Structure 1
Amino acid sequence: MSSAVPLVVVRGAALSYRDRRVLDGIDLDLRAGETLALLGPNGAGKTSLMRLVAGRLAPDAGSVRIAGHDPHTMPEARRAIGWVPQDIALYARLTVAENLDVFARLAGLRRAERRAAVTDALDLTGIAEVAGRPVGLLSGGYQRRVNIAASLMARPRLVLLDEPTQGVDLQARAAIHAVLERLRRAGAALLIATHDFAEAERLADRAAFLKSGHIVREGALSDLLARLRDGAPEHEIALSGLAAGPAEAALRRAGFTPVDTGLTWRARPAAGRPTDAAAQLAALRDAGVPVAEIRIRALGLDAVYRDVLGLREPAPSQALADAP
């Protein structure tokens, strides 16, 4: 249950980097027990905004407050924040427990406090079984969970995560999502920068879309999706092989665009095009398209993203992190 009073309040925040304005007029609230997903293309300002909230940068204009305090100038505000960077920020030769003890020391915890904090973080992130193993010998999924655990030493009220599941398999991704759900239920506020729309739909209560340093749309997921879901759904087709030449041309004429590997294509029915899935399947196969199946798909956050950014092509589900 989120608090009525925002834990994070950003008002009119602006930031420039090497004479280029990367954030401009940012207003944002985040409450305890709430998860907010930041979505946008590379260079939109997601990572820069997270650095402002973390207190690692000071805004050129406007303000950032964590529980009423400025995180850039007040250590008590920074102690309320856990930062989980996109890159693994751990000591490969140290064990998991040793890594966490180092981060507990950096957080200023005394010896007795460190032991309790390490034990709690191991339990919360589900990594107690590998506590004695060197981090460098762990899988990428375990390393990412240790990365999260390292941010929890001071029991932060706010956790910032930059692409928390990048490069991990489905099993590790599910384990990381479970960790984030436990943090949320424990009352932490979560701010997650991600290119993964399914991840945002799975974890977030609200989403904010950034474009060229501005928040161009923000709101509860249910409200963001309701507007688009009042219209026609998307047709999604799975191919048995890559489409090339005439087959690709036929798909594009039918309004489809590729997603990810090119074995999945999506389109929204439009005037003059068949809306019956069976008829569409038959027409594409007659045109030589290697269609394995066709599905009716409710619109998701990727469709909101395309609408917000004015894109026709489906947005990629994964990409590199923002520029600063």
Structure 2
Amino acid sequence: MSLTASAPTANGAPAPADAATVELRGLRRSFGTTTALDGLDLTVRPGELLALLGPSGCGKTTALRMLAGFEHPDSGEILVDGEDVTAVPAHRRDAGMVFQSYSLFPHLNALDNVAFGLRMRRIRTSERRTRAAELLELVGLADRGDRYPHQLSGGQQQRVALARALALRPRVLLLDEPLSALDAKVRLTLREEIRRLQQELGITTLFITHDQEEALSMADRVAVMRAGRLEQCAAPAELYARPATAFVAEFVGTMSRIPGRLRASDATVAVLGRHLAVDGAPPSIGGAADVDVLVRPESLGVTIAEDGEGRVVGTSFLGATVRVTVALADGTRVKADVPAHDAGRLAPGTPVHLSLPDRPVLVAPRTP
């Protein structure tokens, strides 16, 4: 794979000259009465790693399988570097795919598993073995080439699967929840390795996951899906700090709902004894309405106050911080993060005052 630099990727690093641009345009797909994709539009930039994130059934796996050529849309287009590949069969898509289940051949050792696709393309034995050995070294398994899948750990098997996907030097790499079957420690190590390899090779990558931490830590951009549609696609920091919709706000990270009163005339909301500007477009109302203000735990201040609007009902130790759960007078439960060294005073039953920083807040219609 050529590493000649061209346009920058989403993270600012130069992308290889042969890094592909992938475009999904208006993809629709239904299975009986179930709509899997409902007009999905998405662009993956050259050399970036884009994560598709969303709840089960949101359509992310269907989108990935369409890009791989395993599923076909009812309507819409799939383009790679401007070329329409919607009708191109999977074996001619020039895409490498890593599955959740590894899918290694049990009767082949690691080296032969990596070389399998090269053998199918009738690459000379010496060349394919050399390339397979180089890829095993790239994924840290240079000394495991003679091992069979049952002799490898889950993390090692997934590295072999990744090397096999890269052996054909694909223009696009597709990762279908490749870490979900691994334990937490191995997942952390392997996701760092995948990210390192992806950046080193500069290959355009679409990564499917339901794990928020995985998506936010690995991806250049994260696309959040819901019911077959794209809710927001942005860099992890922007997605977390400035969610475009209430769904994104609550799906990515932890979010508390605090009762407020929206005033449409000046797009402000009364919450916790203050009036704050609304972030983004407020819900369409005639004059004023009860709403929920969406707040991250780290954005809330907690101080002991006899006349406070809530009482501590529980705490959870998170290391440097402690998550404090506060019950308001109407029964609403709000989560706030405080430094661990300050949390000792906040025992259950302690009356407290909650405070918000002076910046716009996101609001959503009041939930029953």
Mark yes or no: TM-score above 0.5.
yes
- Residue aligned with 2:58, SS: coil
Structure 1 match to 2:135: 121
What displacement does 1:265 show? 8.6
Normalising by structure 2, what TM-score?
0.63
Which residues in structure 2 correspond to 1:189-268 (within 5 Å)?
Answer: 189-227=204-242, 233-234=296-297, 254=312, 266=323
Is residue 33 from structure 1 mapped to residue 47 from structure 2 by the alignment? Answer: yes
Render the CA deviation track for 1:183-212: whole Å, top value 9, x for unaligned: 223110111111222211221010111111
Contact 1:70 1:77 in 2 (8 A): no
Structure 2 spans left out of the alignment, 5+ residues: 1-7, 10-14, 244-248, 250-278, 280-293, 300-309, 351-361
Q: Which moved more, 1:275-284 or 1:150-159?
A: 275-284
CA separation of 1:87/1:53 partners in 2, compared to 1, >3 Å: closer, same or farther? same
Is residue 12 from structure 1 mapped to residue 75 from structure 2 by the alignment? Answer: no
Structure 1 spans left out of the alignment, 5+ residues: 237-251, 288-306, 313-324
Structure with the larger RCO, 1 or 2 (CA within 8 Å, 6+ apart): 1
Render the CA deviation track for 1:198-241: whole Å, top value 9, x for unaligned: 211221010111111111111122322232699965259xxxxx
Render the CA deviation track for 1:234-273: whole Å, top value 9, x for unaligned: 259xxxxxxxxxxxxxxx98587999xxxx9956889877
Which residues in structure 2 correspond to 1:1-324 (within 5 Å)?
Answer: 1-2=8-9, 7-74=21-88, 78-107=92-121, 109-169=123-183, 170-171=185-186, 173-227=188-242, 233-234=296-297, 254=312, 266=323, 277=338, 281-285=344-348
Aligned-partner residue type, residue 234 of structure 1: P
What displacement does 1:274 show? 9.4
In 2, Cα distance between equivalents of 1:43 and 1:114: 39
In 1, Cα distance between equivalents of 2:58 and 2:94: 26
Render the CA deviation track for 1:110-130: whole Å, top value 9, x for unaligned: 434422331232122111121
RMSD of Structure 2 on Structure 1 (CA): 4.0
Normalising by structure 1, what TM-score?
0.71
Contact 2:191 2:214 in 1 (8 A): no
Q: Where is the strand percentage greater, Structure 1 or Structure 2?
A: 2
Runs of 4+ aligned structure 1 residues displaced above 4 Å come to 3-6, 228-233, 252-259, 264-276, 278-281, 307-310
Aligned-partner residue type, residue 177 of structure 2: E
What displacement does 1:131 show? 0.8
In 2, Cα distance between equivalents of 1:308 and 1:32: 35
Aligned residues with identical type, % of pairs: 34
User: Which of the two has higher C-alpha Rg?
Assistant: 2
Q: Where is the helix percentage greater, Structure 1 or Structure 2?
A: 1
Aligned-partner residue type, residue 209 of structure 1: V
CA separation of 1:275/1:8 partners in 2, compared to 1, >3 Å: closer, same or farther? closer
CA separation of 1:208/1:21 partners in 2, compared to 1, >3 Å: closer, same or farther? same
Aligned-partner residue type, residue 22 of structure 2: V
Contact 1:79 1:154 in 2 (8 A): no
CA separation of 1:286/1:211 partners in 2, compared to 1, >3 Å: closer, same or farther? same
Q: Which moved more, 1:61-70 or 1:269-278?
A: 269-278
- Residue aligned with 2:167, SS: coil
